Amino acid sequence: MPADPQGTAPRLHGILVVDKPAGWTSHDVVARARRLLGERRIGHAGTLDPAATGVLPLAVGDATRVLEYLTDASKTYLAEVTFGVETDSSDADGVVTAVADPASLDADRLQQALAAFQGEIGQVPPMHAAIKIGGRRLYELARRGEEVARPSRVVTISTLTLVEWSPPIATLLVDCSKGTYVRALASDLGTALDVGAHLSNLVRLRTGPFRLCHAVTLTELADAPLPWIWPDLAFHPDAVLGDWPALLFDAEAAATWGHGGRVPADGVARGPCRAYDEAGTWLGVGLADLEAASWRPTKVVGSAA
């Protein structure tokens, strides 16, 4: 239920999962959220192309402190690939550069091709990507008609499943690592099958622990009775860190942590952690210092409730 309107207004910290509409850039969504929430500290995890829709997690307020961990998370997509047509951007927004007859392509050939793209693969980013080469964004160079060499990068595709085959369109379920370009995957599939292809539609179903069923539309956000509904709309910032060990500190240890001090480890300390006081208030994140047998805070926060 929404927070009591008669009580203290909730602080707007947390992860807000937005269902990005088609035609909006990820930056457009952030700008809109800033206006609706009245909060400048908002960042997004993982750019979605304007034509794509689906899960775009926004880190609001104190949650921006853990945005880097969400940006590294794996993602799941429902991708529509149209065979027989290539574009300069490898998606439906591009200019058609080649057309071929995909009549020889069937589900069996497609399944065999998909097998070669699972696991760790090398992938060359498309020219219309947002990454920088030599200090310049690739899409800016592409718009000027320039093309530069792009080094291949290793990405991991954990799942690549044919959901539906309606010639010449294949609907694929793709689960992949950070840095994977699904439109590059579509183009590479077309090349492997000698008919060409482009990404004709893309829906992001998941980023890390956040799924499409958790998302709100921008219209729903605009109509929401903010700030009171916030606890029902957003996830606590620590939801990003759900698979990290949690430390519960007494008052003395919590005070030490809050001042940036190390807290002795009870037993063997390994890897990252999330910390809380006895009331369950999130205190931030830290790392194990094996030599000093202690937990060292790396990001200290106050109450993010």
Contact 73, 45 (CB under 8 A): yes
Q: How many CB atoms within 10 Å of residue 68?
A: 13
Task: Choose among 290, 251, 304, 295: nearest CA to 274.
Answer: 295
The pLDDT tens digits for 78-87 are 999 999 999 9
162 vs 143, more confident: 162
Work out whether strand 282-289 and strand 42-44 pair parallel, antiparallel, or are unpaired.
unpaired
Classify domain 75-201 at the CATH superfamily level. Pseudouridine synthase (3.30.2350.10)
Say if residue 276's pLDDT is above 80: yes
Say if residue 45's pLDDT is above 80: yes
- CATH class of the domain defined by 14-73+209-239: alpha beta
Residue located via tokens 């940036």: 260
Q: So what's the pLDDT on residue 255?
A: 95
CB-facing half-sphere around the CA of 116: CA atoms within 13 A: 13
Q: So what's the pLDDT on residue 61?
A: 92
Q: Predicted confidence band at 8 (pLDDT cuts at 50, 70, 90)?
A: low
The pLDDT tens digits for 53-70 are 999 999 999 899 999 999
Note the pTM of the prediction, 2 decimals: 0.89
Helix %, strand %, coil % for the chain, to 5?
A: 25, 35, 40
State the DSSP H helix or E strand holding residue 288, giving kind and residue range, or none if neither: strand 282-289
Q: Predicted confidence band at 302 (pLDDT cuts at 50, 70, 90)?
A: low
Number of H helices and number of E strands within the chain?
8, 18
Q: Predicted confidence band at 3 (pLDDT cuts at 50, 70, 90)?
A: very low
Segments in 127-250 forming alpha helices (H): 138-143, 182-192, 218-223, 230-233
Task: Report in angstroms the alpha-carbon separations of 215 from 150, 185, 268.
Answer: 34, 26, 39
Q: So what's the pLDDT on residue 1?
A: 37
- CA angle 14-19-25, nearest 5°? 95
Q: If you average pLDDT over residues 184-196, what whole number do you get?
A: 97
Q: Where are the domains of the chain?
A: 14-73+209-239, 75-201, 244-300
Work out whether strand 246-248 and strand 169-176 pair parallel, antiparallel, or are unpaired.
unpaired
240 vs 130, more confident: 240
Say if residue 7's pLDDT is above 90: no
Q: Predicted confidence band at 201 (pLDDT cuts at 50, 70, 90)?
A: very high
Say if residue 171's pLDDT is above 70: yes
Give me the catalytic one of 19, 49, 62, 238: 49
Task: Report in angstroms the alpha-carbon separations of 3 from 48, 64, 219.
Answer: 32, 23, 21
Strand partners, 159: 175
Phi and psi angles of residue 76, each rounded to the nearest 5 degrees, phi first: -125, 135
Q: So what's the pLDDT on residue 269?
A: 65
What CA–CA distance (Å, rounded) separates 67 from 41?
Answer: 11
The pLDDT tens digits for 115-156 are 999 999 999 877 666 667 666 776 666 676 766 667 789 999
Helix axes 107-115, 182-192, angle to 10 degrees: 120
Q: If you average pLDDT over residues 153-177, what whole number do you get?
A: 97
| CATH topology agreement for domains 14-73+209-239 and 244-300 | no
Say if residue 225's pLDDT is above 60: yes
- CATH class of the domain defined by 244-300: mainly beta
Tokens of residue 182, six digits: 């699904």
194 part of the active site: no
Say if residue 288's pLDDT is above 60: yes
What CA–CA distance (Å, rounded) separates 84 from 222?
Answer: 41
